[in-house]
Structure 1
Amino acid sequence: MEHNAQRAQKEDIMAKNTQRSRYSTSRRSLLLKGLAVGGAGALGAGLLTNGVPAFAKERSSGITRGDVAILRFLAAIEILETDLWQQYNELGGIPDSEVPGGTASAPYVNALQQLDGDMSQYIHDNTEDEISHFTFINAFLASIGADPVNLDHFRNIPSSKATGARQIGRLTNLMELTVDTSWWTRYRSRNKNPDFGDTFAQAIPGLSKGRFPAIPRNDGDLAPADHIQAIANTAGFHFGFIEQGGSSLYPTLAQGVTNLEVLRVLLSIGPVETAHFQTWHDKAGNAKILTDPTNGLVFPDLNNPPFGGEDFQTNLIMPEPTIFLSRDLPAVSIIRPTRQGVGGTGGAVATVKAWTADGLFINQRDPEFFAVLSELAVQADEARRGSALPEPAWPSIQRSNYPHAELDEMPGGQMPAVDHLARLS
């Protein structure tokens, strides 16, 4: 009887996997057609196939379409994260057999070491961790008979021209960043939580108002001294921005997981992202006080007026207790945000929005990249524990008329237009 029940469960999963909404079928066909033109048809099929195939191994028993959607999105995010950390390591870390590529830039390394003498080692280790994350998640997907994620088709963003950087296509851009530093004040607040709709002040207001490099764009960026130091300071706050996102993403998506082994994957990788965040939170507080003479970017003294106090004090790196679940409950020290769903501020769609606004994808000229990433994000956020992945709630969108429709045109404002995307057309 148990064998029959398991077989019925697998047949039910397979049946659900064959279902497609008009929206998914239409867009997926467009994606596969577009990728095939570029010689990457298999990539599209691998990225956008749903659920657990019939040849899934025994481990796949009880794994839902939602579980696979979550794992696929996390694999994609970890690939993107690896790409940006590799760029940091090539110029500011320790290129070696563990994290190969690049030869480092001595002036940039020196500027980073003003934040901490061990910055190069930390950058190296963070990079190695991200490589291990996407490699493991993809291997796990393959072990359950699901397709791993591969974004190599989209490696078309130019590299830094600074000595030490490899001249290869990238997935991310670290040279035109608009860094959100509100995470700094969010983790110091005692009475606000983004899950309640609260907003937070920027620690470095200037970083949120322009486009700034976090790595030298070329050797001309290596001087004057305050300019290369401003670039290193920007990197320090960007490290925190990236890793606080991962700290929220894993517990947010974990709430939609059904299979216990998949849950174990998320609960085991997620805390490593938080360990990264804790490290970079501490180092960002050591950013040198200065004004970049080339662009006027100001790194203020966060410990004195008009800053200062608990919202800015640099040694308050432990998450302050704050409201959680209900304002009627006592304050508690937590990761925030963690509200689940497409409308949440810590999930997959929110991550794509934040990284796009950050400028990470400026100069990504292939609109299929945004279509693929947004579909993976929506499916991950729609996953619900113990239930099949629901069909999309919006109609098919003709991408010939809306080249960035998946990011710009979702009903209900789930992923509103971002200026960086508008400039890609």
Structure 2
Amino acid sequence: MHDIRSIRDDPEAFDRALARRGLAPLSADLLALDERRRALITEAQTVQARRNEASKAIGAAKARRDDPTDLMAEVAALKERMPQIDAEEKAVGEQLNGVLATIPNLPLSDVPFGRDEDDNALVDSHGTPRAFDFPPKEHDAIGPALGLDFETGAAMSGARFTVVRGAAARLHRALGQFMLDTLTGEHGYEEVVPPLLVRDEALFGTGQLPKFAEDLFRTTDGRWLIPTAEVSLTNIVAGKILSQQELPLRFAALTACFRSEAGAAGRDTRGYIRQHQFEKVEMVSIVTPDASEAEHERMTLCAEGILDTLGLPFRRMKLCTGDMGFTAARTYDLEVWLPGQDRYREISSCSTCTDFQARRMNTRYRPEGEKGTRFVHTLNGSGLAVGRTLVAVLENYQQAGGSVAVPEVLRPYLGGLELLEARG
């Protein structure tokens, strides 16, 4: 959410930032609504003051035995006008907030300008893709023999659902536990088991509502299935005033996530890359503004460390202005190498949202030695998407006969197992 006062202070800067997002100028329309709302507030104060003054004058007139009829008529008219002003001011305020709620966060100055993923900037690469002595297969060719049952999932629930069984299920579980253990044991994240169903307010706070309702699943009682644990974890602090000593807060959760993929029709309909239901380990940080820059780098390095430990080649990309999410001020995508596809694919996004979500949630902190409060900064990142990591392990560790070697770090989670054998 944007601060109308900052737009009022520098409308040209606001419009320039919107232009980097590919959006038309909006400051003039916003400031017109703001001016009308403020004028109504001033009118309400004036009317109330005059009503009080006239009411006192009526009493004085009666004391002098003067005729108060005109004053009484004026007070009646003012009394009738007050709710009209209040209703109009409320309507204009709701209109202003409604427009502000649909405007994405402004990109930080170092974010490259661009229209789509083709304009993203390579930051660095890690690891060397494996040289195979046989043609590597894609995961949807390897997976069925290990327990990725696409047909049963589709028959049971429709497209973009998969039943995961046997060796694949064990690998999936091991990956999620390894990720969560790494983040909590090595990087100080607090493990959380959050709700998977949330109210409108939670999704508004993190920016999915009102603009992206079609990408979500809603239950019959009006709640929403979370598209990412970012929603639940970030809303732990919604509406709170934190002390500076409490910060930073770092949360991590392994949850199921649910997305309708309304904007992804026709993309990745085969295989396990893009599902309606999937598991992901999510990281969320709540920090002071002066710490958010370092926290963004720290969070991204946490995700990179998991990929490094798994021995998966990857690269870091800085997303351009046209490819960033709605709430992000800067995003780093980590893309893992998939030899079967002969390309890099996103496996993690780590974003700093500055105070954008905090304003929507009304989450503040009280700086030491200050009477006032300030908005916190929020950050979120995948550490990692479990299903996509499973895909990466299958493709990078595949063997000629269809089996898959288990990355060394995962073997303790699989009882020392070194090889996932394909079923005959």
Same topology, TM > 0.5: no
Rg larger for: 2
Greater strand share, 1 or 2?
2
Tell me which protein shows more helix as a share of its residues.
1
TM-score of the superposed pair, with normalisation by structure 1: 0.27
TM-score (norm 2): 0.27
